Chains A and B, each alone.
Chain A
Amino acid sequence: MIELVWLIPIFPFIGFLINGLFGRRFSEKTIGWIGAGSVGASFVVAVSIFFEILKLAPGNRSVEKIVYSWIWSGDLNVPIGFLVDPLSLIMIMVVSGVGCIIHVYSIGYMHGELGFRRYFSYLNLFVFNMLILVSANNFLLMFVGWEGVGLCSYLLIGYYYEKKSASDAGKKAFIVNRIGDFGFLLGMFLIFTIFGTFNFTDVFGAAPEKLTQGGAIVTLITILLFVGATGKSAQIPLYTWLPDAMEGPTPVSALIHAATMVTAGVYMVSRCSVLFAMAPVSLTVVAIIGGATALFAATIGMTQFDIKRVLAYSTISQLGYMFMACGVGAFASGIFHLMTHAFFKALLFMAAGSVMHAMSGELDMRKMGNLRKKLPYTHLTYLFGTLAIAGIFPFAGFFSKDEILFYSFEKHIAFWILGAVAAVMTSFYMFRSVFMTFYGKSRVEKDVAHHLHESPPMMTVPLMVLAFLSLVGGLVGIPMLEGGHVFADFVGPVFAPAKAIIDHGVHHEGHHNVTAEIILMAVSLGIAIFGLLVARFMYITSPETPGRIVQRFSGLHKLVYNKYWIDELYDFLFVNSIVEFSKLIWKKFDEAVIDGAVNGVAAVVRAFGSVLRLLQTGLVKDYALSILVGAIVVIGYLLLR
């Protein structure tokens, strides 16, 4: 079965081709089920490979499968090959599994939309690229997927392209990602010049010999790769595109901008864990950027009123958590959080989509309230997602977030404080959104209120599946019980080389400090409940408090509410300067020099022509005369020569 790993990305690609090329006459149902079915088929293959790999010994669970020799030129030999190991398998299963659920949900959500076929073709193309990204066995093929998901993200953000804000958001996402991709490319080139190969196993195997521990080159490589990750995974300073990306359809936000694509950066950093482990400076940078982003985005999330934007900032913040986990060397915890986050954040987005569906497209939480009676399933599933992300026991987020906080605490208390403060805020803004949307007094406008309705089963059933996963997804990582951490034991071997480098002689003697861990768990649970209570006090018990706080700290609130004016700052610093410079070149160089040269040549030719054309009189006799004169001249020359 492992031999058939290439089937996994192929299925969605076939779905894309069928819907894209021949879907014109298909009914919505056919298109939707082709899309969902193809991703489901990938998931089935992935699961059967997963069970097969479980039978192997933990040390042998890394299998490479070369399908085709793609580029073969001199020293450069790049195959289309797949790397199946616990890390990529988890990513494949999350992408195809959550992807399949979101496809099914989309059938209900996108019902009656004009570009139904276009939507499903793009979505399938996205899943194809994402699967290529996570299953590739070399950097170059990974980059193909990396760019492919960027393209699909652009296409799907700009899905409502008649709307200017949507097409602008698409362009912004694409361009900001390009900046990050540039870093990734440079990092890749540097890897190739040093290792002479793009293959993951070869590069990581040779890294300890060819690079010096903590050397400048390995630091440069990892920083460049991390620049790529900040673009794709929306970290400081390249996070600004993600909130705008909410212009796309909500299932797209769930799939691409919450569950899968934005986690590609975390995956990439984890994949390169050996390189990062060899560059402590880069690791610290990753941890600091991650922690700072987690906190920074959470502060913005607390002030937003657009439910999808709250979730978007929450995504940025959670991605920051994952990077912080990678930065403190707990790669497995980062991936664990990536998985649980995929469950509950996709759930939250889709539940928000369900609310939007019921509210005729309204996103402003100030115009919601008390929806829980009208939308019982949506309310319950959204609540499950919130409990999970806030880290309330025993929901999935509790285990993964707690683990990250534990490892940050072990590394340095500053990281723990960053994470803990962000966790309070997370809990606060998530429950704030719950209370504003589903509880309290109804602020729904009249013409919207009378056709409030629960979404069809096509949408609520996927929500319930994800709600279930959000509830139990964390149980694979129960920390204290010996052997209870199934997840870490599974992915552990992938990160073993990195761990060995980081520990580097310093033996921890496996002292798993259970007491400290339990105390930290209690603290983080307390933190989450504290956030809940604050939100409850401010939005249920005394709803006038937020207004008063805003008045008291009006300057600060304005700063945070306007997202620290980062977008405006970037516009001023980079966008406008480039636009102005381009205008200058356009006017001064393009119009003056290039156009001048081209038009000048034309003018010279025209001037000659205007003189010479006087010879063309149109009178036959003149032409006959010129023939005669010519003949006489030639004959005369021949005679007199």
Chain B
Amino acid sequence: MVTLEHYLVLSALLFALGIAGVMLRRNLIVILMSLELMMNAVNLSFVAFSRYLGSIEGQIFVLFVMVVAAAEVAVGLAIAVAVFKQRGTININDISLLKW
């Protein structure tokens, strides 16, 4: 029997993986993918709660999140392309001009 806890644990694991990816990786595209992973972890918990509570709202919300995520990826990738064109790298440790 797959209970709510299973879903939530999976969601938490995925989220943690996403955080680790964002924190540890240096490639901008990988970071974007990790962000996507975190978002999907959240989506998973939304759907799980929706099913558990018998309410449709969580699922509607997931649709919204997916739309936003698509937009965010589009913008993020465009930035990545632009940065690469400008500086020849997408290593975020090399992209640190905005500081004192």
**Pair from one complex:** yes
Interface of A (DSSP majority class)? helix
Write the B81-100 contact mask toward A (1 if CB under 8 angstroms, else 0).
00000000000110111111
Kindly list chain A residues whose C-beta atoms are within 8 Å of the C-beta of B23.
Answer: 621, 624-625, 628
| B19 close to chain A: CB less than 8 A | yes
- Is the beta-carbon distance between A620 and B19 smaller than 8 angstroms? no
Choose from B31, B96, B100 the contact partner of A619 (Cβ within 8 Å).
Answer: B96
Select the residue from B31, B92, B99 with max chain A CB neighbours within 10 A: B99
- Is the beta-carbon distance between A628 and B92 smaller than 8 angstroms? no
Kindly list chain B residues whose C-beta atoms are within 8 Å of the C-beta of A617.
Answer: 96, 99
CA of A617 to CA of B92, assembled, Å: 12
- Is the beta-carbon distance between B100 and A621 smaller than 8 angstroms? no
| A640 close to chain B: CB less than 8 A | no
Kindly list chain A residues whose C-beta atoms are within 8 Å of the C-beta of B99.
Answer: 616-618
Chain B nearest CB, measured from A612 CB (Å): 9
| A163 close to chain B: CB less than 8 A | no
CA of A613 to CA of B99, assembled, Å: 8
Chain A nearest CB, measured from B45 CB (Å): 15
Chain B nearest CB, measured from A208 CB (Å): 81
Kindly list chain B residues whose C-beta atoms are within 8 Å of the C-beta of A618.
Answer: 96-99
Chain A nearest CB, measured from B27 CB (Å): 12
- Is the beta-carbon distance between B97 and A620 smaller than 8 angstroms? no
Kindly list chain A residues whose C-beta atoms are within 8 Å of the C-beta of B93.
Answer: 619, 621
| A614 close to chain B: CB less than 8 A | yes
- Is the beta-carbon distance between A620 and B92 smaller than 8 angstroms? yes
Choose from A613, A624, A628 the contact partner of B100 (Cβ within 8 Å).
Answer: A613
Chain B nearest CB, measured from A620 CB (Å): 5
- Is the beta-carbon distance between B100 and A620 smaller than 8 angstroms? no
Chain B nearest CB, measured from A1 CB (Å): 80
- Is the beta-carbon distance between A621 and B92 smaller than 8 angstroms? yes
Kindly list chain B residues whose C-beta atoms are within 8 Å of the C-beta of A614.
Answer: 100
Kindly list chain A residues whose C-beta atoms are within 8 Å of the C-beta of B73.
Answer: none
Find the B residue at minimum CB distance from A631.
B19
| B69 close to chain A: CB less than 8 A | no
CA of A504 to CA of B92, assembled, Å: 104
Kindly list chain B residues whose C-beta atoms are within 8 Å of the C-beta of A620.
Answer: 31, 92, 95-96
Kindly list chain B residues whose C-beta atoms are within 8 Å of the C-beta of A628.
Answer: 19, 23
| B22 close to chain A: CB less than 8 A | yes
Question: Contact residue range for chain B?
Answer: 10 to 19
Chain A nearest CB, measured from B94 CB (Å): 10
CA of A620 to CA of B24, assembled, Å: 11
Find the A residue at minimum CB distance from B22.
A624
Kindly list chain B residues whose C-beta atoms are within 8 Å of the C-beta of A616.
Answer: 98-100
Find the A residue at minimum CB distance from B94.
A619
CA of A628 to CA of B38, assembled, Å: 13
Kindly list chain B residues whose C-beta atoms are within 8 Å of the C-beta of A619.
Answer: 92-93, 96
Select the residue from A613, A617, A620 with max chain B CB neighbours within 10 A: A620
CA of A617 to CA of B96, assembled, Å: 7
Chain B nearest CB, measured from A214 CB (Å): 80
Chain A nearest CB, measured from B77 CB (Å): 16
Chain A nearest CB, measured from B37 CB (Å): 14
Interface residues of A in 396-425 (CB under 8 A from B): none
Chain B nearest CB, measured from A618 CB (Å): 3
Find the A residue at minimum CB distance from B19.
A628
CA of A590 to CA of B97, assembled, Å: 41
Kindly list chain A residues whose C-beta atoms are within 8 Å of the C-beta of B98.
Answer: 616, 618
Chain A nearest CB, measured from B80 CB (Å): 12
Select the residue from B23, B31, B96 with max chain A CB neighbours within 10 A: B96
CA of A613 to CA of B96, assembled, Å: 14
Kindly list chain A residues whose C-beta atoms are within 8 Å of the C-beta of B92.
Answer: 619-621
CA of A614 to CA of B99, assembled, Å: 9
CA of A133 to CA of B100, assembled, Å: 65
CA of A616 to CA of B99, assembled, Å: 5
Find the B residue at minimum CB distance from A625.
B23
Chain B nearest CB, measured from A627 CB (Å): 10
Kindly list chain B residues whose C-beta atoms are within 8 Å of the C-beta of A624.
Answer: 22-23
Chain A nearest CB, measured from B12 CB (Å): 12
Chain A nearest CB, measured from B86 CB (Å): 16
Write the A600-626 contact mask toward B (1 if CB under 8 angstroms, else 0).
000000000000011011111100110
Kindly list chain B residues whose C-beta atoms are within 8 Å of the C-beta of A613.
Answer: 100
Kindly list chain A residues whose C-beta atoms are within 8 Å of the C-beta of B96.
Answer: 617-620
Find the B residue at minimum CB distance from A609.
B100
Find the B residue at minimum CB distance from A628.
B19
Find the B residue at minimum CB distance from A619.
B96
CA of A617 to CA of B98, assembled, Å: 8
Chain A nearest CB, measured from B98 CB (Å): 5
CA of A614 to CA of B23, assembled, Å: 20
Write the A1-23 contact mask toward B (1 if CB under 8 angstroms, else 0).
00000000000000000000000
Chain A nearest CB, measured from B99 CB (Å): 3
Find the B residue at minimum CB distance from A616.
B99
Find the B residue at minimum CB distance from A624.
B22
Find the A residue at minimum CB distance from B93.
A619
Find the A residue at minimum CB distance from B100.
A613
Chain B nearest CB, measured from A608 CB (Å): 13
7 A/B residue pairs, CB under 8 Å, sorted by A: A616-B99, A617-B96, A618-B98, A620-B31, A620-B95, A621-B92, A628-B19
Interface residues in chain A, defined as those with a beta carbon under 8 Å from any beta carbon in chain B: 613-614, 616-621, 624-625, 628
Known: A618-B96, A618-B98. 10 other contacts (CB 8 A): A616-B98, A616-B100, A617-B96, A618-B99, A619-B92, A619-B96, A621-B22, A621-B23, A624-B22, A628-B19
Question: Lowest 8 CB-CB distances: which A-B pairs, in order?
Answer: A618-B99, A618-B96, A613-B100, A616-B99, A620-B92, A619-B96, A618-B98, A616-B100
